[in-house]
Each structure stands twice: as structure tokens, then as C-alpha cells.
Structure 1
Amino acid sequence: MIEMLDFGHEIQYLIIFSSVLILPKIIQRFKVPVGITCLSLGILTSSLYPELRHDQLILLLSRLGITSLFLFAGMEVKVDELKENKLPLLKHLSVALLIIFLLSFAIQYYFELEFRLAVIFSLGILTPSTGFILNSLDSYKLTRSQKYWISSKSISEEMMAVLVLFFAMQSQDLKSLLISIAVLVTLLFGLPIVFKLFIRYIAPYAPKSEVAFLIILALLCGVITKKIGTYYLVGAFIVGIVAGRFKHFMDEKEDKNIFESLSVFFGIFIPFYFYKSGLKLSLDILTKEGIVIGLFLSLYLIPLRFYFTNFTTINFLGREVYSPWKISLSLMPTLIFGLVISSILLEKYHVDSSLITGLFIYTIITSILPAFAFETNPPKEYDSTTIE
């Protein structure tokens, strides 16, 4: 890595790590999400030191961040709870799927993209980022019922989006599609065997190794799904869903420990994913055309998403919901999924940079809305006295 100043590599990395891990937390008091700050730092760094775009350590840290986040999101899927409320959720997903395809046709027409790329672009616009949303819920003054429906809707939409993304990326080649399906089926049937072997033969003799095992397995499966032409999040999400079906991982005591550890882990590494996403860009991408596209998407699609989410909340739940607009607004952020889609469209399909800029601007706007619209919980007070 090229030396930015006259410091050694250790000092250079220390500066980067301090900026990525500490500075965004300080700025968060001004209601700017951590992801937005890290993304901005990445863009600024890319403009000043473009050599860092290819730094392998930052790449590895970013992959650990995104895979651990989607591992966590997959484990958050409570299949029994989703089954219990399957009717309103299925109605909600039906409307969401219809909007995805209607928007895809509009994007295909206006931006002259082939249909499957228009579908992928639509997913970046419409899919709420579950990990980002769930990580923010405790900061806002929301009721338990509101948090439940925000969680259920975001998880179910993200599951659907991952499935649609998989087929959209593989739809061009039937042979690749069949191979990819075979790989995913192998993962779905093979992972339970791997988990059973781990729980029976390794966990009893290696206490507290569950989190490390889950993260390594999520990263491995993420790499596998990346190699077959999808993305890291697919493999990591599958690992999380399968792990969530085992009592050992979801036992009340183990569940708390594992979830807290995973939350701490992705809390450390996910900022590097945002930073790496920013490194792929530079200030040069802020073209007039891209800014216009981003503002256009925000002006028309944010109200549209809010209206339809509010509509499904009020009409499909079949019960009185307190302040349904809070549920709808909480589901607006698309930060993580939007960045994933931007990366796919830019690196794999070489889509016009103005569209990437537009999606990027739209993603930032949607992701800061709840922070400025909701009343936040007061910060915790800490005891700064010393022990006598």
C-alpha cells in the first residue's frame, strides 16, 4: 500500500481504523447514521488516495462485515412467528413484489436497461435494509408492537429480495441458473448436517466457539455464492436461517450470548463495508445527471413506498395499529441493500455511473429519514468516578 504520509503501515492503518470506528460514533450524536459517515470517509479517501481502493485488508474486513450482518439477519428470521402472521405478510409481500416489477418496467423504459438489470436496480430502491433497521430500533421511541411489525416486514421483504436477486442475476444463462440452484439446494440440505456434527462433536469440547464457527461458515458460504454469480449476502443469509432452526443456537441463554456477540462483531466490521463501498467511488461520480436522477428517485419513490407500506399496514394486519406511519417510515432505509446493488451493477454489469450515483443519493436520503423524523431515546449516563 502506498504510504500516505511518512508513517509506516501500522500508523496508516491506525489512522484509517480510528477514523472508521470512532469518528462516525462521535458524529452520530448529530443524527447522522454511522454508515453514512463511513461511506463519506471512503469517498473522500478514494479521491485523495485512489491506491487504497485495492487494499486487501480493508476488502477482507468489509467482507467480514457484510457476511456477519446477513448471518445475523438470517438468524433473526423467526419462522414460527412469520407463519403465525403469514396472511398479512403474504399480502404485504404480494404488493411489494407487484411494485418491484412495475417499477422494473418503468426503469427499463426510461433508463434503457435490460429487464433483469432493471429488476436488480428496483431491488436497490425498494428493499429495506433489515440489519441497518433492526440495529437502529432501540434508538427510537417505538412501542413493542411497532418494533415487531417493523422487524417482521423488513425480514420478510429482505428474504423475498434475496430470492428475486438470485434469479435476476442467473436468468440470462439456463445452465448457470441450474448449477446455482443445485449449489443452493446442496447448502440448504448440507448445512444442517454440518451444524449437527459441530454441535455433537466440537461444541462440547470447544466451549464458546459457536460465534467463530458461524462467522467462518457464513464467510465460506458467502464466497461460494459469490463464485456462482450471486453475492456474499445470499450464502451468509442461508447460514443464518439454517442456524436459527437449531435449539442449541437459539436456546434462551445461548441465544442471548450468541446474538450479543454477533451484534458486537458486525458492529465492529460493518463500518468497513460502508468505508469500502465509498472507496469504490470518488467525488467525480457526483455528476449533474446523477444528482438529478437521485433527487428524482427520492421525490417520487419515497412517497410511493411510504404510501403502499402504510396501506398494507392499515389494511392487511386486521387489527388496530398505533401510529402506522412510524412503521412505514422505519422501513424506508435502504442503505445496505442499496450499496450491495450499486456494487453489483457497477462491478459486474458496468451500468452507467449516473444511475449508480442516483441510486447512491437516493439510498443516503432514505437512510437518514427516520433519524431526523423520530424522537430518539436519551443517551445513557455513565459513571465517570474512580474506584476508591
Structure 2
Amino acid sequence: MRNELIYLVLIFGLLVVPRALQRFKIPAPLTCLLFGVGAMLAWGDQSHDPLVGWLATLGISSLFLFAGLEVDPAQLRKGLWPLLAHLGIRTVTLSVAAWLAWRYLDLDWRPATLLALALLTPSTGFILDTLERLGLDEAERFWVTSKAIAGELFALIVLFVVLQANDPVHLGLSSLALVAMIVGLPLIFIALGRWVVPHAPGSEFSLLVMVGLVAAFATAKLGVYYLVGAFVAGLIARLLRIRMPRLASTQNLHAVRLFATFFVPFYFFNSGTKVPEGALSWEALGMGLALTAAVLPFRIGTIWLQRRFMFGEDHASSLRVSISLAPTLIFTLVLAGILRDRFALSDALFGALLLYTTLTTILPSLVMRAPFDVDPMDVRRKPAAHPEDAIKSDHANGAAKDSRPAS
């Protein structure tokens, strides 16, 4: 009974309290992460619960399954050349950041590259969840979405190669296994659609989620991370949309987002419980502030310059797109964990990455008048009006009514 009560309190604390605190411009994922850090400080290793770990895996896998489902090849082709230019610049900045980490932080090239990815890769899933509430127009939302997805695809490829690069034979075998999975997943989806779905109407969601989880664990066994397989499964389901329209239908997208919304808070909480005490030091604070002061303006300025001078956008629109791409929460947390577990990253640098991703994640909610939210219910609605705008609208409507001639 005691364990059941603890789990009930935990679920309430992760699903309700962070939402309530969003009125103070505190992103819900960061609140969950802080709850995890608090649990670590209070109970130490006892806060590492296997059940919470499984729920966290479900959260990160379902989130990247949804991210794969959100990829629209037609939209990416529409902005192909600007996106290629963006990825070219991203490759240069990643190389420079990796070289700086190798040169001045005394890291091998593999952890240096992963550190650069952690600093420069936007968190696509969470960025997509905020777009409808950041006051962006249609063109700005298109470019934020396209750049975030293209950057995520690029980062996943680099992550896969770098994690296997120490063993060329293993890299080759893993690549073959990944290709086999890419070829096999469409066949699995088609087989399920032919032999299971006709006899179990409405089962598309559960089959999609289960295939995504199997793919996630398959890539984990290959030595990369869960998110690679989940993303690939979502992407393939999206590519099969014409042949199997119900698999990646709007209803299924909505359902997967709901599923991820429930489990993702456990991922952030679980990540918080794994933060070492050494990461909460003055040295980590200083390094985190230095990283943020150096990297964040550089990231925003680079994208601003692209939009401003390469594509002729105005100053304000370029800045809104740049700031909307600032959050790095998921990729930074994932890569910081990999760096700590596989490459013995120092506690101070780990803590610096946590502070950096906290500041980048909270930035849009502070400067763009809308809280950072991962509520899936509002994904298709128009951006919520700012209270001052609503007051002005009410006054305008009242004035219009008063000006009408009496009937």
C-alpha cells in the first residue's frame, strides 16, 4: 500500500504540479527535472526506481515516435535548398564546436563531437509542441518546423556514426542491421495492416506504438539509443500514409502525442535522479553560464543571419524563428547521459550542460509572451491571444456594436 501511495503521489506531482507552475513561465519539463534532482538529493540511490526507468523509456521512445510521424517529406522538399544551406552551415558550426571542445576541454574527438551535438541540436518534439502558442505566422512556423526536423535527422545520423566509430566492423554490422530494420519495418506494418487490423478495428494506434517500441529497443541493442529506432519507425509509418492512411492519420498522431505527454514527465524526473551531486557545484554554475553566454547568442545569431541576409526576411521575423529554435532540452539530456556513462564526462561539465539546456529551454517562454507547454490538446488550434490583446479585442467589439444603427 505504501508503494502504491508513493507512485500515486509521484504521478500527481509530475502531471499536475508542473502544469500549475507554467503560469509563472516555468516550463513543465524543467519542473519535472528539478523534482528528480530533489529526489536524488533527498534519497540518493534509492530514488532510482526500475519502474520509473521503464516509464521514462516509454516516454522518450513515444516522443521520438511522434517526432518521426511529424516529418512531412513534401514540406521538406518545398524548402529543400534553404534547408540544405542550413545543414551546410550546421555542419561547419558542429565541426568548429567539436574542435574547440577537443582543443580546450581535453576531450577525445568522439565525446567532443557529442558535446557539440548536445549544445547545437534543437529539441524538435518540444519545439513543435510550442509553435501554436508562440505567436508565429504560417511562414515562420513552416521554417521553424522544417529546420528543427532537418536538424534532428542530421543529429541522429551523426549520433549513430559517432557512437560506433571506434569499431569499424561493428559500425558496418550496425549499419546493415539498421538498413535491414528500415527495409523490414514497412513489411511489418503492411502485414499487420492486412492480417490484424481488418479483424481488430481501431488497433492501428496500439500496433504503431508497439512497433515503435520494438524498433527503439532494437537500436538500443545496436549500441545507439532508443530514440533512433523510435524515430525511424515513426518516419516509415508517415511514408506509408498513402498506402495505410489510418496508420499515420491525424487521430493516430493525436493519440501518440497524448501517449507521449503522459510518459515524458517520467523521463525528465528519471534524468533528474541521475544527476550527480558534483554537478550541483559553483564550478558547474560558472561553466554553464559561460557556455550559455558563448553558445546561445551564437546559435541565435547564426540563424538570424541566414534568414536575414540569405533569404531576405525582416529583422523581427528572423529573430522569432531563431529564438523558437533555441530549446535543446531532450538532446542535451540524452547526450549528457551518454557522455557521462560512456566517456566519463566530469560532473562539473555535466552540470554545465544541465544549466545550459535549462536556460535555452526557458528562453522562448520568457521573450515570446507564451508559456512553454507540451499539452497535446491544443496542437491544431490557433495561438492563444495574450490577455492584453484579448482586452483590446473586447473593446473593439464593443465599440463596433455601439456604432451599429439601431434596428
TM-score of the superposed pair, with normalisation by structure 1: 0.92
1:264-343 aligned at under 5 Å gives the runs 264-317=258-311, 323-343=317-337
What percentage of aligned pairs have identical amino acids?
35
Q: Which 10-residue stretch deviates more, 330-339 or 219-228? A: 219-228
1:3-82 aligned at under 5 Å gives the runs 8-82=2-76
Cross-structure match for 1:184: 178
Residues 1:263 and 2:257 aligned together: yes
Say which SS state the counterpart of residue 49 (structure 1) adopts.
Answer: helix
Give the superposition deviation at 1:84. 2.0
1:232-271 aligned at under 5 Å gives the runs 232-247=226-241, 251=245, 255-271=249-265
Cross-structure match for 2:217: 223
User: What is the one-letter code of the residue matched to 2:9?
Assistant: I
Measure, in 2, the Cα distance between the counterparts of 1:318 and 1:163. Answer: 30
Cross-structure match for 2:343: 349
Contact 2:278 2:347 in 1 (8 A): no
The unaligned stretches of length 5 or more in structure 2 are 371-383, 391-407
Say which SS state the counterpart of residue 202 (structure 2) adopts.
Answer: coil
User: What is the one-letter code of the residue matched to 1:111?
Assistant: L
Contact 2:65 2:230 in 1 (8 A): yes
Provide closer, same or farther for how the CA distance between residues 319 and 308 of structure 1 changes in structure 2, counting only shifts above 3 A: closer
Give the superposition deviation at 1:312. 1.8
User: What is the one-letter code of the residue matched to 2:292?
Assistant: S
Contact 1:46 1:279 in 2 (8 A): yes
Give the superposition deviation at 1:251. 3.8
Say which SS state the counterpart of residue 11 (structure 1) adopts.
Answer: helix
Give the superposition deviation at 1:315. 3.5
Pick the aligned partner of 1:146 from 140, 143, 150: 140
Contact 2:296 2:360 in 1 (8 A): yes
Pick the aligned partner of 2:160 from 162, 166, 171: 166
Question: Deviation string for 1:228-274 (max 9, x for gaps)?
Answer: 11100110010011010112687489622011111111111111110
Measure, in 2, the Cα distance between the counterparts of 1:36 and 1:340. Answer: 14
Question: What is the aligned residue count?
Answer: 375
Give the superposition deviation at 1:280. 0.4
Contact 2:68 2:232 in 1 (8 A): yes
1:110-129 aligned at under 5 Å gives the runs 110-129=104-123
Measure, in 2, the Cα distance between the counterparts of 1:371 and 1:79. Answer: 29
User: What is the one-letter code of the residue matched to 1:373?
Assistant: V
Contact 1:40 1:278 in 2 (8 A): yes
Give the superposition deviation at 1:175. 1.2
Measure, in 2, the Cα distance between the counterparts of 1:47 and 1:250. Answer: 49
Question: Deviation string for 1:67-91 (max 9, x for gaps)?
Answer: 0100111111111211121100000
Pick the aligned partner of 2:361 from 349, 361, 367: 367
Structural RMSD (CA): 2.0
The unaligned stretches of length 5 or more in structure 1 are 1-6, 382-388
Q: Which 10-residue stretch deviates more, 294-303 or 343-352? A: 343-352
Contact 1:141 1:374 in 2 (8 A): yes
**Greater radius of gyration (CA):** 2
Question: Deviation string for 1:76-134 (max 9, x for gaps)?
Answer: 11112111211000000100111001000001111100011100011010000000111
Measure, in 2, the Cα distance between the counterparts of 1:254 and 1:351. Answer: 39
Residues 1:106 and 2:74 aligned together: no
Give the superposition deviation at 1:320. 6.4
Provide closer, same or farther for how the CA distance between residues 371 and 101 of structure 1 changes in structure 2, counting only shifts above 3 A: same
Measure, in 2, the Cα distance between the counterparts of 1:296 and 1:51. Answer: 30
